[in-house]
Structure formats: structure tokens, C-alpha cells
Homo-oligomer: A and B are copies of this chain.
Amino acid sequence: MEISLESKIEGLLFYKGEDVSIKKLAELLKVSELEIEEGLKKLETSLAGRGLVLVRKNDSVVLGITSELSPLIESIRKEEVTKELSKATLDTLAIILYKNDTSTSSGVSRSEIDYIRGVNSSFILRNLLVRGLIEKITDAKDSRRALYRPTFETLSFMGITSIDQLPNYTQVRTQLQEALNNQTENND
């Protein structure tokens, strides 16, 4: 059974998590803008009383959380940013700090972090992002790849002016690089 257009819009907006223009929706779902408008109306109706709302901004739409849940979301957010960093989170931050190249201001990719840690790190990265401890940038060499690097605030919080002031900086970098080179070999 083919799912309805409004359900498609809902899924798409949920995936994106950001404003999408009506024009873009029409293009992606291969229907007219008029049909998208109709779909959006139906979606609005089906969302009534639910946890999500459709927010319209000019010619764009985004899926948001109903304002009735604002106090709840605010308390969750507060908990997220104030709880003590777990050991795994600290390890991940350490990798991002040491792998950050100040001279080229590039960062480290998620797959590199995952390989070094031996586990998947996506949730941890989200937490570090929410707390403003790291930021996400686009790889200059490959626009599809996201890279992570420490924020300026993190460095100043640690009281260091440049990354190479971290303990055993050169040695650690060499060892991390060797491990990543092994990964490339193993994948051949």
C-alpha cells in the first residue's frame, strides 16, 4: 500500500529536522506545489492534539514540538547540559582535541572517532554538540563529510592557547595516526 502524501511530507520533515521550502518538497516528492499545499493542510489536521506541530515560515515548513511541551523539553535540555560528563564522552572529547589540526583548522570525522574508540559514537557527539564543547564543520576536501573540532570556548576553558600544549601532544598524534593507517590497510 502506498502511503499518503501527508505521511511522506511528515517523514521527510522529520528526517531533515530543518526548514524545507515547499518548492523543495514538491521536487523531492515529485508532485506539484499545489499538491504539497493540500498535503500540508491534511498533515496539520492529523497533527492536532499530538506532540508535533507543523511550523510555517514564509514558503518553508518545519516539524516542531508542540509548545505545550516546552517546559518538559526545557527541563530535559537542562539535564543534558548539566550532567557530569561520562568517561566515554571525555574520551571522545580527548580524541577530538588531539586530532584537531590548528594549522589547517580541520577536524576529525565520525568514522575516525568510531574506529579509534572501537564503538559507535553518534549519541556522544550529539551531547558534546548540545553542550557547545565541539562544533561540526564540513570537510573542505569532501563536502559530504562532516568533521568535528573543539570550540574556542573549550580550549579557553582548559586554559590552553594552542592544542600542542596538551600532554604528550606529538607522541599521541603519531600513535593515533598509526592506528588510522592500519584501518586503511585492513579495509583493503
Contact = CB atoms under 8 A, between A and B. Distances in A.
A52 B3 contact: no
A11 B65 contact: yes
Count copies of this chain in the complex. Answer: 2
Given A11-B66, A51-B3, A65-B11, A114 B126 contact: no
Given A12-B51, A120-B132, 16 more contacts: A3-B69, A4-B49, A9-B51, A10-B52, A11-B73, A12-B69, A14-B52, A15-B65, A15-B69, A78-B144, A114-B130, A118-B126, A118-B130, A120-B129, A120-B130, A122-B132
Interface residues of A, number: 53
Contacts of A119: 129-130, 132, 135-136
Interface string A113-151: 011001110110010011110011000000011100001
A76 B28 contact: yes
Contact of A68 (B3, B80, B120, B153): B3
30 contacts: A2-B68, A3-B51, A3-B68, A7-B51, A8-B51, A8-B72, A9-B51, A10-B50, A11-B52, A11-B65, A11-B69, A12-B51, A12-B69, A12-B72, A12-B76, A14-B65, A15-B65, A15-B69, A15-B73, A17-B126, A18-B126, A28-B72, A78-B146, A114-B130, A114-B131, A115-B130, A118-B130, A119-B136, A120-B153, A122-B132
A46 interface: yes
A11 B72 contact: yes
A105 B5 CA distance: 38
